[in-house]
Amino acid sequence: MSDLMGPTEEFERAARLCGYRRIAGIDEAGRGPLAGPVVAAAVVLPVRCRLSGINDSKQLSEGERARLYAAILEHVVGMGIGSADVGEIDRLNILEATKLAMRRAIDQLAPPPDYLLIDAVTLPGIGIPERPIIKGDSLSLSIAAASIIAKVTRDRLMAEYHDMFPEYDFLSHKGYGTREHLQRLARHGPCSIHRQTFRPVHEAILAVNRESSRRMCGTVLEQ
């Protein structure tokens, strides 16, 4: 099996041969950004699902993701979406927040899945047989579908945050640490959806505090 072929149903078929029927692919979007939530999706596809062009969401254009998002919604047997917000990311760390988002996505599936295919993550204590797959979003059709659902959902959330905080241009970079985002972060300081435990944001907070202290000292000296 080669990832050059794109995702296949091989892992799903292997699970069905073991007697499992409701096989959910799980993936997330938003572990790396400096701002916004991490979003996970759980997707159960029908047997012998035909979705032309499906792949790891990172390998697709925005237009391709939008087309496949609509196609996946037409085909799914079940779908759940979960997220962890900035406060949970800062409190738990990004890996544990990702697992929390995944559990919430699984909880949205009714009836629940009886087997999980997860992109490179294990979920201890979930109570459902699972198989973590390295680069699963480029190998498993259901994980690839979950990656697209999670990515499109998160991008749309970041578009809403762009309307709330236009000075950061979240619509362009979706919270990732691009040069433009870092420049705007330095200029304006962090907002309420920035992840304070991520180094560039923490450094921006320290810079804001230093500037505030400098101004306060200057005011005192002038009095």
Reported confidence tier of residue 217, pLDDT bands at 50, 70, 90: low
Task: Compute the average pLDDT of residues 93-116.
Answer: 97
pLDDT in tens, 118-174: 999 999 999 999 999 999 999 999 999 999 999 999 999 999 999 999 999 999 999
13-34 pLDDT, tens per residue? 999 999 999 999 999 999 999 9
The domains found in the chain, sorted by start residue, are 3-164 (3.30.420.10), 166-222 (no CATH)
> What average pLDDT does this structure show over 96-104?
98
Residue 218: pLDDT above 60? no
Question: pTM of this prediction?
Answer: 0.92
For every residue of the chain, DSSP letters joined together read: --GGG--BSHHHHHHHHTT---EEEEEEE-SS-SBS-EEEEEEEPPTT---TT---GGGS-HHHHHHHHHHHHHH-SEEEEEEE-HHHHHHH-HHHHHHHHHHHHHHT-SSPPSEEEEES---TT--S-EEEETTGGGTBHHHHHHHHHHHHHHHHHHHHHHHH-GGG-HHHHTT---HHHHHHHHHH---TTB-TTSHHHHHHHHHHHHHHHHHHHHHHHH-
